[in-house]
Structure 1
Amino acid sequence: MIRTTLLLALAPALLLAHPQAAAQTSSHDQGRVLESADLAVLSTRERIEPENAMLAARLENLLPGLMEETGIDMWLVLNREYGEDPVYFTLVPQPGFAARRTTMLVFSRNEDGRVERLTVNRYPLGEPYESAWEGGSLEEQWAALGELIVDRDPARIGINVSEHWPEADGLTHGLYQKLLAALPPEFHDRLLPAEDLVIRWLETRSQSELNVYPHIVSLARGVIAEAFSARVITPGVTTTDDVAWFIRLRFESLGLEPWFMPYVNIQRPGMECGEEAPFCGASGTVQPGDVLHTDVGICYLKLCTDTQEMGYVPKPGETEVPQGLRDALAQGNDWQDGLTAAFETGRTGNEILAAAQQAMADAPWTFNIYTHPIGFFGHAPGPTIGMWDLPAEVAHTGDWPLHADTAYAIEGSIKTPVPEWGDQLVNIKLEQTAVFDGERVIYLAGRQTGWHVIR
């Protein structure tokens, strides 16, 4: 087991065993405290058992209810090697890098509500699936699938086709044509998009996932705290690219997979930050007096994070962060509170966006909201709550309603004048991974309420 000592950005009491315990703490109190702690990072081999246990629990406890909720009697997830459906790896046990030739997963809901988990494969997957057919030729495989469907006689057969959700559009045209050929014509009208089921499966977090998610987010925040320190940054020497590559290589040294290249930028007095610019910040060499920002994301135990935090490099003689910058970060926290207060079960992403915009219309700072669901993917399906380049409502994905036990990257920014900078605007860009438990938003590993200071 790999272990590392990191400066961790954690909520009180090391972030709680699971987020429900955070209900005793207000979102204002889930701030950043720096502690030195050992965090475990499982090796690739050691991850197999917990990942498969979480998968088995999801299939047993979550999928039946979601199939009933979305009215699907049978769900087909059909894949070819190296052209897998986006949802495929969330459904199959590890270790696995690809589908084996043509891999067919069949989920068949019985009258008692139980869901049979079947494979029609030349190479069986094993637990938690039962093989309904194995071996033989490709033609025999398709015939076996057709016979299984006819035998079960489902009224509504979900297939992964979608106009607006790429994660739910994994059935290729070639496989769709094969499926039609394998079925009697009278079954063709029973095929319908499994779009709602795919989104609900991908967006919903199980209890076992919620138990480990704070640890995963803590890893990401801990590396940021390490990067935004004198252990990495020498003012006048270190560049923003140096810091970004440190973050990426640090993650990789821990066996953690970034899902995008880390981004680091600077702001300073004299650097233009206009009201109309979507973002402010530039690359270059870090100097005393600079404001730093980073955007990083990792995936571990199949769950992804997305985090943005801010740092400050003191000038010679400075003993603390200028008051104007401290006030700016506090206003960024107020922006977070204004957004998360609008989260209500059943509201669509567009309705949450409108409510938050209205509540903060008279704020003494300008703001932009671009919050997205997160989970098995960094940009996951679910209710889109604004986009940085589309401040108005978002069609289709913004119309999806908010459900309990779903996770979000609470992402956005504010601009506010800094007196010490001659009232030049600073762009405070924040993003923290959080879960909505049905009543409130809980930051899975706290949130930044104080500046990272590079001393």
Structure 2
Amino acid sequence: MKNTVVKILTALAFVILITGVANAAGEAQRRWERMNQIRQEKFDLVLPEVMRENNVAMWITVSREGRDDPLTEDFGKGYVGSYGYYIFTDRGGERIERAALGIGTALIEDNGAYDIMTESFDLKEFVEERDPKSIALNFAEHIGAADGLSHTDYQKLTRDLGQKYAERFVSAEKLTSDFRSRRVASEIAAFAWAGEMSRNIAERAFSNEVITPGKTTLADVAWWMREQQFENHLGTSFGMPSVYITGPDGFVALSNDHVIQRGDFLAIDWGVGYLNFYTDMKRHAYVLREGETHLPASIQKAFDNGLAVRNILKNHIKAGRTAGETYTILNQEINNAGFKIMESFNSPTDDP
């Protein structure tokens, strides 16, 4: 009888273990499937448009063992023995040719987003056959996410392809920005989920669930938020969340052992990572003093002014303008409404 009980308990433990693994794999597979859908839609709908707008005939992204390009998640991560290449070529027609050379995984192949997948290739022959007039590479002056090519990668491409094609190298900075920023429907849905997770965690952090005035420190709040990222399998936009106290003179304390007190004005600046999306969200909170049931008039006024400026932003951000044009218009409209643009972040002012 004892042996039977042991066997039953062992079997139950095994079932629980398998069930737990299956549930964990479920979320991993769902995220993989979402990225597959996004990748297919981006390649079909966005890639041809942005390559032609930027006069790019071929786009090469280098992947190496132990060092991914910032775009690796977008293109599909696989095993790279030494060097691998994602190569997109405009050969005419509606579709851009997609090739993954030296990047091995059944997951990318099963996705069906690539026309060519092989571990055996001659990079120079591949490029010569297509003879592109321009070759975009991921080096960039202003955008870190478009600057994944190392100096060593650049030198190797120059050697392997020869001077003829090296003279056709151009920066993929604008191309990368356009490819990443033009969202398809599946991306918008995924980013909305990331934003909701970011909002939910931030607002719980600034609640009685987490904060006890006179006891909880800023670091306690920051670590609680970091733990929520860990438990929900989320990345981080900025490392440790910035949880701080601000006042008339600017920053008072930032994610440290400062104990939160009644009357403090708190702020959060943080973001989560989901798939290859990263949020950047702010939240503010006032810790009521004993006997207070509403915000002080000064803080309520600041909140109302913030809503007024937010409405200006919503009403004047329109499709069809450049970011620079929009920025100029917004500054003018904000000034017209009686507000002033801050010259630097969290700059105190005597202007009421």
- TM-score bracket, normalised by the shorter chain, equals 0.7 to 0.9
Number of the residue aligned with 2:242: 263
What amino acid does structure 2 have at the position aligned with 1:302? N
TM-score, length of structure 1 as denominator length = 0.64
Q: Is the 8 A contact 1:335 1:414 kept in 2?
A: no
Q: CA deviation at 1:146?
A: 0.7
What amino acid does structure 2 have at the position aligned with 1:262? P
SS at match of 2:208: coil
Q: Is the 8 A contact 2:335 2:341 kept in 1?
A: no
What amino acid does structure 1 have at the position aligned with 2:96? V
- Cα distance in structure 2, aligned partners of 1:313 and 1:416: 22
Q: CA deviation at 1:65?
A: 1.5
Number of the residue aligned with 2:92: 111
| Partner residue of 1:282 out of 253, 261, 264 | 253
What amino acid does structure 1 have at the position aligned with 2:70? P
SS at match of 1:43: helix
User: 2:161 matched to 1:202?
Assistant: no
- Cα distance in structure 2, aligned partners of 1:362 and 1:344: 19
User: 2:229 matched to 1:251?
Assistant: yes
TM-score, length of structure 2 as denominator length = 0.81
Higher relative contact order (CA 8 A, sep 6+): 1
- Cα distance in structure 2, aligned partners of 1:339 and 1:312: 25
Question: Given the superposition, is the C-alpha separation of residues 265 and 178 from structure 1 closer, same or farther in structure 2, using an over 3 Å criterion?
Answer: closer
| Partner residue of 1:77 out of 61, 74, 79 | 61
What amino acid does structure 2 have at the position aligned with 1:263? S
| Partner residue of 2:156 out of 178, 182, 206 | 178
Q: CA deviation at 1:347?
A: 3.9
- Greater percentage in helix: 2
Deviations 1:186-213 (A, max 9, x none): 3333332223211111222111111232
User: 2:146 matched to 1:168?
Assistant: yes
SS at match of 1:282: strand
- Cα distance in structure 1, aligned partners of 2:53 and 2:225: 42
Q: Is the 8 A contact 2:80 2:103 kept in 1?
A: no
Question: Given the superposition, is the C-alpha separation of residues 169 and 216 from structure 1 closer, same or farther in structure 2, using an over 3 Å criterion?
Answer: closer
Q: Is the 8 A contact 1:84 1:99 kept in 2?
A: no
Q: CA deviation at 1:365?
A: 5.2
User: 2:301 matched to 1:330?
Assistant: no
| Partner residue of 2:171 out of 184, 190, 193 | 193
Q: CA deviation at 1:340?
A: 4.3
Q: Is the 8 A contact 1:366 1:414 kept in 2?
A: no
Q: Is the 8 A contact 1:119 1:133 kept in 2?
A: yes
Q: Is the 8 A contact 1:47 1:301 kept in 2?
A: yes
Question: Given the superposition, is the C-alpha separation of residues 350 and 185 from structure 1 closer, same or farther in structure 2, using an over 3 Å criterion?
Answer: closer
SS at match of 2:310: helix
Question: Given the superposition, is the C-alpha separation of residues 107 and 258 from structure 1 closer, same or farther in structure 2, using an over 3 Å criterion?
Answer: same
Which structure is larger by alpha-carbon Rg, 1 or 2? 2
- Cα distance in structure 1, aligned partners of 2:141 and 2:289: 53
Number of the residue aligned with 1:87: 71
The Cα RMSD (Å) is 2.7
- Cα distance in structure 2, aligned partners of 1:106 and 1:225: 43
Q: CA deviation at 1:307?
A: 0.9
Give the count of matched residue pairs.
Answer: 319
1:49-64 map, 5 Å: 49-64=33-48
1:132-147 map, 5 Å: 133-135=118-120, 141=121, 144-147=122-125
Deviations 1:63-87 (A, max 9, x none): 1111121111111112212233222
Number of the residue aligned with 2:113: 128
Question: Given the superposition, is the C-alpha separation of residues 82 and 340 from structure 1 closer, same or farther in structure 2, using an over 3 Å criterion?
Answer: farther
SS at match of 2:220: helix
Number of the residue aligned with 1:354: 328
Q: Is the 8 A contact 1:240 1:285 kept in 2?
A: yes
Question: Given the superposition, is the C-alpha separation of residues 133 and 229 from structure 1 closer, same or farther in structure 2, using an over 3 Å criterion?
Answer: closer
- Cα distance in structure 2, aligned partners of 1:147 and 1:312: 64
User: 2:337 matched to 1:368?
Assistant: no
- Cα distance in structure 2, aligned partners of 1:248 and 1:63: 35
Q: CA deviation at 1:220?
A: 0.9
| Partner residue of 1:153 out of 110, 131, 138 | 131
- Greater percentage in strand: 1
What amino acid does structure 1 have at the position aligned with 2:31? R
What amino acid does structure 2 have at the position aligned with 1:77? T
Deviations 1:112-164 (A, max 9, x none): 131111122173652322445424xxxxx4xx111111111222222223333
